[in-house]
Amino acid sequence: HATLSVSLSIFLISAELDTVKQHKEVLISSSGQPFPWNHMRLPKTVSPLHYDLGIHPNLTTLDFTGVVRIQLQVHEDTGVIVLHAKQMQITEALLLAPEGVRPLRVLEYPPFHQLALLSDTLLTRGRTYEVLLGFAATLSDSFHGFYRSSYHTSSGAVRVLASTQFEATFARAAFPCFDEPAFKAKFTIRIIREPRHIAVSNMPTVKTVALPGGLLEDHFDTTVKMSTYLVAYIVSDFLSVSRTTQRGVKISVYAVPEKIDQTAFALDTAVRLLDFYEDYFDIPYPLPKQDLAAIPDFQSGAMENWGLTTYRETALLYDPDKSSPSDKLAITKVIAHELAHQWFGNLVTMEWWNDLWLNEGFAKFMEFISVNVTNPELHVDDFFLGKCFEAMEVDSLPSSHPVSTHVENPMQIQEIFDDVSYDKGACILNMLRDFVTPEAFEIGIIRYLRRFSYQNTVSRHLWESLTDKWYSGDELDVQAIMDTWTLQEGFPLVTVEVRGREVRLSQERYLKTDEPSLTDGFLWQIPLTYVTSASSTIRRFLLKTKTDVLYLPQEVDWVKFNVDMSGYYMVHYEGDGWNAIINLLQHNHTVLTSNDRASLVHDVFQLVSVGKVRLDTALELSLYLSRETETMAVTQGFQELVPLYKLMEKRDMAALENRMKSYIVDLFRGLIDRQEWTDSGSVSERVLRSYLLLFGSVRNYPPCVEKATQLFNAWRASGGHMSLPVDVTMAVFTVGARTPEGWDFLFERYRTSLQMSVKSRMKVAMAFSPLQGKLTRWVMMEQSLRGEVMKLQDLPDVLVTISRNPHGYKLAWDFLRANWHTLIKKFDLGTSLVAYMVNGVTNQYSTTEMLDEVKLFFGSLTEETGSEMRCIQQTYETIGDNIRWMDAHLPHLQAWLDKRSSHTVHEDL
């Protein structure tokens, strides 16, 4: 019987190898033998039901050992189990079958992070088995997998902790597992620790057992069925504060002991948000607790591990006296995002990473829905448009990708954690909600979550859940509409021409390119909305074809499409359309909402880039901004105008650059002069104040510089103990960092401060100093890569800020090149922080010489060192677009500023 079984097994493995050969060449394992699988994705012959995982991290030797028992369901007869493991030593491999315990032969194929376990007995379809694997590895020194983190106490002592970050493909670096989102299973976790530490995981502790040698072992309750990327555990010396929600879920916030007094706001916010989501989704939160942990070293903003969400310290810790309104808004949104994931992502999970947007776009969208209700004082709606504009920036390049996009390898998976998946995903959901009505949308979402709880989905399942009988009894085909937004990249530009009562409509892809053919073949179903001079009632029209015509009840002076910019598209007003809008803004801008005004500012300047509108038309429209007071419209004015002189800073054209800077200061002078150097007003008013005073200070507007200098000197004289108004600290620090003594004082305060939000502002101020020697010190000091004074996680921000500093941009580019291999090892290929550094450091270059230099460096990379990353292609396209813009529009800019100067002089005379 045993001999027969062995023969069968050998036959089966040979058959599987034959199948592999038919598909592709055989891969060779690290031991030199053929590897019985040749796909990046795992086979579906077996699937995990339950993991029993024991982990023992050693925070002194910085390594860990573990044992995992995986209960498996067999779907096809097989002699091979293929699963994931990355950079770990397998110390033991056993098959626990009903017939007894047998050893498994282990083959590794490191390029795919795969292990093959070869059994000499056949695993029979329909039966369950267990495999036991012993393993050992080093705690990672990156930000992924099971990694080490550390912090300094106020007395200078170093404390070490270990934490996890498994999304997207890093659970395999912590324990052998089936590391794909569709392989959902339950997890029972045990962690061995020293008594001076605590351990937390997804579920509450059931018991703690004393072990020989003075160690303790925490046993955690079994999780619900979930994907590997959501497993989490932390071993640390953190303290916590706790409260309970209305339904009895225990919420705890964990932080390093000296910062535990900065956790009250997060705790209160999390309780309110969890209560909101239970009500909105009409599904109880399925776990007994929800922990929020502030990790000293953390690459992204936060992570939604089920029951144990993890955060950057700046994304969770809040000091009522030192944190700003924008800090409060950001922290609230991050918590809202991670808690939305507990349903959308954790309870219902995308089948594969190509539909990541189902998780991220939805969580980003829910930030605004939930915070609007739970924290109305934050006026979160004022900031939603910015997300759509950011998404369009990336989505207007030829290298963009569809929201739902094919990905296979870990680098490609990491790359789609970008503005398209998050921000475009949120914007198209907002457009759909506006179109089908918020009530119908909410009903559809609840239907989706209930139907697919503990399962995996594709985009189609969401559209089916949102499809309902429409007003007239016709069924609205949500999928037909939304497929045009998720399965093709880019977005439409709708051109509107009004002739009497007739409105002619046409659509094309908006694309920044010098290859017009790339816009061919795109067609969207666009839910258009519009208001006119005759009626503020929002009217709707679904544009399904390349061109169409709609009829107004009467002739009008002006029409504004995409009301409040609830749709993810741009609008061009042909004929006399832009002049009518400019006239309206000049004489009565408040007839339109501030979102409408912001979208007009955005669209008109973006249309200059593709040659649809003359630059002087856009600049004429910008003149109305001298009377604008609303945050979104003012900040959008800055977003469109400031890049124009930033492009000039990288060329030798100081005269024109300074005239452009003067124009912007003049435009907003009245609004800047009205700002008080205090912390009064609403959140939006305070965010705007901070923005305006910083701009005035950076641009050397004398009243701002004088006031900021006076406040900095007084603050410095007090040894940094004087209480500055929070809203003005960014301006004060930035002016203070201009002198060597001021910079050194800020650096010393930065080194010793425990206030995360204050440190963030000091960091930016020091990076924007004109003192090149200090900039060199700030970036080039070894500590920036070792993370001693400045945390490694903060380096990308510092680098990008220096690249925007006219005195530092070359320094940032040199640093990126010199340290490229270290940076991609620490931050990992394809991650958003690598893309942020690449784009941030290069996206203001506008000369063919710099484009050649950038291409020379990135062209010298191999696939292993990042040559295939999308952000490199984006960089080439952005610099190319900048060059085209400068060549086409600089003469117009010069002429318009000349004309304006002569008008101003004439008026003065």
Q: What does the H/E/C string look like for 412-478?
A: HHHHCCCHHHHHHHHHHHHHHHHHHCHHHHHHHHHHHHHHCCCEEECHHHHHHHHCCECCCCCECCH
Amino acid 517: pLDDT: 79
In whole angstroms, what is the distance from residue 441 CA to residue 429 CA?
A: 9
3-class DSSP state of 202: coil
pLDDT digits (tens, 9 = 90+) for 339-363: 999 999 999 999 999 999 999 999 9
Amino acid 649: pLDDT: 87
Q: Are residues 125 and 176 in the same domain?
A: yes
| pTM (2 d.p.) | 0.93
Q: Are residues 66 and 174 in the same domain?
A: yes
Q: Which two tokens stand for residue 661?
A: 């800077």
Q: How many residues does the chain have?
A: 909
Instruction: Evaluate whether 66 touches 175 at the Cβ level (below 8 Å).
Output: yes
State mean pLDDT over 263-276. Answer: 97
Asked whether residue 868 is assigned to any structural domain, the reply reads yes
Amino acid 614: pLDDT: 95
Give the end of a domain, one of 594, 623, 652. Answer: 623
State how many domains the chain has. Answer: 4
| Position 846 pLDDT exceeds 80 | yes
439 sits in the region (left: phi over 0; alpha: psi -120 to 50; else beta) called alpha
Asked whether residue 683 is assigned to any structural domain, the reply reads no
Q: Are residues 227 and 257 in the same domain?
A: no
Q: Which two tokens stand for residue 414?
A: 């990491």
Q: Are residues 841 and 893 in the same domain?
A: yes
Amino acid 309: pLDDT: 98
- The answer to whether 408 is annotated as binding is no
In whole angstroms, what is the distance from residue 768 CA to residue 746 CA?
A: 13
pLDDT band at 650 (very low <50, low <70, confident <90, very high): confident
649 flagged as catalytic? no
Task: Look at 439-448, 633-642, 648-657 and tell me which has the smallest mean pLDDT.
Answer: 648-657
Asked whether residue 687 is assigned to any structural domain, the reply reads no
Instruction: Evaluate whether 240 touches 280 at the Cβ level (below 8 Å).
Output: no
The amino acid occupying position 808 is: G
Which position has the token pair 């002089």?
905
pLDDT digits (tens, 9 = 90+) for 428-469: 999 999 999 999 999 999 999 999 999 999 999 999 999 864
Provide the CATH number for the domain around residue 52: 2.60.40.1730
Give the burial class of 549: count Cβ atoms within 10 A of its Cβ; 0-12 exposed, 13-18 middle, 19 or more buried: exposed
Given 167, 180, 278, 338, the catalytic residue:
338
pLDDT band at 907 (very low <50, low <70, confident <90, very high): very low
Amino acid 439: pLDDT: 93
Task: Look at 8-12, 300-304, 755-759 and tell me which has the smallest mean pLDDT.
Answer: 8-12
Give the end of a domain, one of 623, 645, 673. Answer: 623
Task: Look at 17-31, 138-152, 498-512 and tell me which has the smallest mean pLDDT.
Answer: 17-31
Q: Are residues 220 and 256 in the same domain?
A: no
| Position 719 pLDDT exceeds 50 | yes
Closest by CA to 165, choosing from 33, 305, 57, 42, is 305
- The answer to whether 341 is annotated as binding is yes
Amino acid 22: pLDDT: 53
| Position 5 pLDDT exceeds 50 | no
State mean pLDDT over 853-870. Answer: 94
Report helix angle 459-466 to 478-486, nearest 10: 150
Instruction: Evaluate whether 455 touches 351 at the Cβ level (below 8 Å).
Output: no
In whole angstroms, what is the distance from residue 436 CA to residue 471 CA?
A: 10
Q: CB-based contacts of 509: which residues, under 8 Å, 6+ apart?
A: 490, 491, 492, 493, 518, 519, 522
In whole angstroms, what is the distance from residue 500 CA to residue 268 CA?
A: 56
Q: Are residues 297 and 377 in the same domain?
A: yes
Asked whether residue 740 is assigned to any structural domain, the reply reads no
Amino acid 787: pLDDT: 73
Q: Are residues 223 and 252 in the same domain?
A: no
Instruction: Evaluate whether 91 touches 134 at the Cβ level (below 8 Å).
Output: yes
Instruction: Evaluate whether 543 touches 505 at the Cβ level (below 8 Å).
Output: yes
**Which residues, in sequence order, are bridge partners of residue 190?**
54, 219
Asked whether residue 600 is assigned to any structural domain, the reply reads yes
Asked whether residue 904 is assigned to any structural domain, the reply reads no
Closest by CA to 293, choosing from 251, 329, 245, is 251
pLDDT digits (tens, 9 = 90+) for 748-794: 999 899 898 999 999 999 999 999 999 988 876 656 677 778 888 98
184-206 exposure pattern, b = at least 16 Cβ within 10 A, e = fewer: bbebbbbbbbeeebbbbbbbeee
Does residue 232 have a cis peptide bond before it, meaning omega lies within 30 degrees of 0? no
| Position 470 pLDDT exceeds 80 | no
In whole angstroms, what is the distance from residue 345 CA to residue 359 CA?
A: 5
| Position 242 pLDDT exceeds 50 | yes
Give the burial class of 587: count Cβ atoms within 10 A of its Cβ; 0-12 exposed, 13-18 middle, 19 or more buried: exposed
Q: Which two tokens stand for residue 517?
A: 């053919």
Q: Are residues 364 and 497 in the same domain?
A: no
Amino acid 24: pLDDT: 66
- The answer to whether 194 is annotated as binding is no
Q: Is the dihedral of CA 852, 612, 656, 602 positive or negative?
A: negative
| Position 16 pLDDT exceeds 60 | no
Closest by CA to 413, choosing from 89, 60, 169, 704, is 169
Q: Are residues 232 and 312 in the same domain?
A: no
Asked whether residue 544 is assigned to any structural domain, the reply reads yes
Q: Are residues 360 and 396 in the same domain?
A: yes
Residue ranges making up the domain that contains 260: 239-473
State mean pLDDT over 214-242. Answer: 98
The sheet with strand 145-152 has its strands ordered as 145-152, 158-165, 233-236, 198-201
Amino acid 103: pLDDT: 96
Q: Are residues 838 and 796 in the same domain?
A: yes
3-class DSSP state of 288: coil
Provide the CATH number for the domain around residue 498: 2.60.40.1910
Amino acid 619: pLDDT: 97
Task: Look at 152-156, 485-489, 532-536 and tell me which has the smallest mean pLDDT.
Answer: 152-156
In whole angstroms, what is the distance from residue 589 CA to residue 461 CA?
A: 43
**Which residues, in sequence order, are bridge partners of residue 253?**
241, 292
pLDDT band at 472 (very low <50, low <70, confident <90, very high): very low
In whole angstroms, what is the distance from residue 637 CA to residue 635 CA?
A: 5
Provide the CATH number for the domain around residue 415: 1.10.390.10
In whole angstroms, what is the distance from residue 221 CA to residue 190 CA?
A: 9
Asked whether residue 448 is assigned to any structural domain, the reply reads yes
Instruction: Evaluate whether 62 touches 138 at the Cβ level (below 8 Å).
Output: yes
Instruction: Evaluate whether 255 touches 270 at the Cβ level (below 8 Å).
Output: no
Amino acid 476: pLDDT: 79
Amino acid 3: pLDDT: 41
Give the end of a domain, one of 623, 644, 669. Answer: 623
Q: Are residues 223 and 345 in the same domain?
A: no
